[in-house]
Structure 1
């Protein structure tokens, strides 16, 4: 078992007891009120109901890892990912906060304690970052329907409030890479299940359920954060494919990609300047 949820009921029973919400009443919203976004999200709300009805893997908040045979392959190679992460963390202070890339995240995070290092976001690659992590990139390409892969860095004291993801056509994987003690001060709640990360172990969940996460230790926590396409039957599979390919044209995703490109330029320009600095 990749995580240790407090609720150990079977996956099917958990799914029946849990419910995805299609609005954001009572929890933090993840969308902005522009006309384009409202229109797109109206279509998304219809597609989400379709996805629930035509899922090939059920709709529990947290999945048994055995549902996805490729998860074991990712876990086996985790030391290679950790080694590349350690090199990235040498410049941890220069990594962008999530809301600096995706400004919509400001609805749930406004401090500088959630940092990121993207390899691919919304299906668009960061070629320069991939060159820094070739083994990680090779490994994540084993994941069917890969859409996003990044290092998600929770610095000490970080707490993400309750929220839900923008769309249930993807599922999320967290692979524990740096998980400090004490364990009871570091966790993620998905619906009613409290899960604890473990180094080298994966946690697969549906972020369309209300969830929150916290690091109340005095050390940094890092996971490999992956979004992949949820396995669906026709016609939901087709609708999902269309939405995934249209999403890249929405304003908030275009803005996020532009922000990441600007950060990349600064980050790698500074690295080049350091390499070329005269030595005395």
Structure 2
């Protein structure tokens, strides 16, 4: 599944969430339903390549989360639980029994599993903080720069301190160059438009820090994926979660980084998801 793949034939859908916020999503395929919850600064269409692979077996529904596309804004009472409400609304409308979440979408997916049992749950490097594993000390600086109308400086701060780009402790000028390309590339306008959603999402990851014990109430079979080139604060929580969640296992995939699902290795991630779902959920369910 890691090779060339046809683009999915997208269909658009929408649903009202619990608080009335409109949530839009893109669907492709003709099979059992699989809901995909994107990460920070990502739109549904950024998972096109992965969907192309997954839609061979599933009907894939990729959410445009709050603050993106035709979906409504985060709202004044935003929290990760509002995102869970949104995902449950999509699950119920599409009658899906499988969920995949990436990064912040992975945190949403795990919190969803505590409220709504699904047949199978897979995540890739969820934005879970256990006992302070996520150092958010830089988040106020990032937020101030963004609010001051300095998106380049804000993105430079985000990239340097989140360490999501696997270039180690490079000079600031390197991160600034990468930030410039990101903000002025083909997706630059979308990225700049989505950046205002980032502070609230980062704060939710910080606010949700715990010892992880509550995840013991998650009853769905769970796959926890990560990449060997990703920062340790994202991958070291995976074996901890696997020990806490009753029916869970984790895997660190050699050579992959944080953007494997949406950008760098969508076929590899899709193959792991497909195999997990085939092993977990009987055919026809």
The structure whose RCO (Cα within 8 Å, separation 6+) is larger is 1
TM over 0.5: no
Higher helix share: 2
TM-score, normalised to structure 2, is 0.28
Name the larger-Rg structure. 1
